[in-house]
Structure 1
Amino acid sequence: MSLDWDRVTAFAAGLPGAERSTHYGGPAVKANGNAFVAPGREEGSFCLMIDRDTVDMLKATDPDTYWQTPHYEGWPAVLVRYGTADPDRVLAMIERAHGQALAKKRPRPRPAKKKA
């Protein structure tokens, strides 16, 4: 099985309490109002929002799949290449990120922008 954006988001959105939404103006999948899957800033990858310890472990154990650009370094997010040799592990990490998103406090709604 190969991965692409449609397959990743269909899997993520099918998890309990997950929904398709937006994050920073782009498409995303959220749970409890917290994004856990979004498009990556690099072609051929998507962004997985997951704790920093897991980010470090993933980059160390499978750098061909999990990686970061300077934009993501130090943040709880990792880029994931669609062309991974282990798509089952990627899906398991999406499930883990989903669980973390569900456990986080729901973000406060942003105030509406005033029209001029």
Structure 2
Amino acid sequence: MRKAAERLLEVETGNSYGTPALKVGKKSFCRVKDADTVVLMVDLEEKEMLMAAAPELFFETDHYKGWPAVLLRIHEVSPDELAHRLERAWLRMAPKKLVKRWRDGGSPT
């Protein structure tokens, strides 16, 4: 996950609910759920679309119903798709000024 997120700005590694997580501005945008699954922050509309379009990759459990997070089968996703999904999650959680800096070509730290 860290390698897939390396081009994003101010990504920190930490923990969330006792598992490794990627954070921006102290907000988690992705975390490990278990050895096969990561949790990605997404808009609810996007979550529904992802689960319908690629159920082999994206799903939810009862715990995540109604929450802006989707589960991803990490061993099934391509590196490019993972990088894209991490970018989308990062854009959702990053402070607006940081997003602007990134879009203006700021380099990762």
* Match status 1:23 vs 2:16: yes
1:32-111 map, 5 Å: 32-41=25-34, 43-84=35-76, 86-103=78-95
Higher relative contact order (CA 8 A, sep 6+): 2
1:16-59 per-position Cα deviation (integer Å, ceiling 9, x unaligned): 11111121232211011110110125x41111111111111100
Q: Report runs of 4+ in structure 1 exceeding 4 Å deviation.
A: none
Q: Quick one: percent identity of the two aligned structures?
A: 33
Larger radius of gyration: 1
Shift in CA distance, 85/11, structure 1 to aligned 2, threshold 3 Å: closer
Q: CA deviation at 1:91?
A: 1.8
Contact 1:21–1:30 (Cα < 8 Å) also in 2:
yes
Tell me the number of residue pairs that the alignment of Structure 1 and Structure 2 aligns: 96
Query: Which residue number in structure 1 is paired with residue 104 of structure 2?
Result: none
C-alpha RMSD of matched pairs (Å):
1.9
What TM-score, normalized by structure 2, do the two folds share?
Answer: 0.76
Q: Secondary structure at the match of 1:9?
A: coil
Q: CA deviation at 1:85?
A: 5.3
What TM-score, normalized by structure 1, do the two folds share?
Answer: 0.72
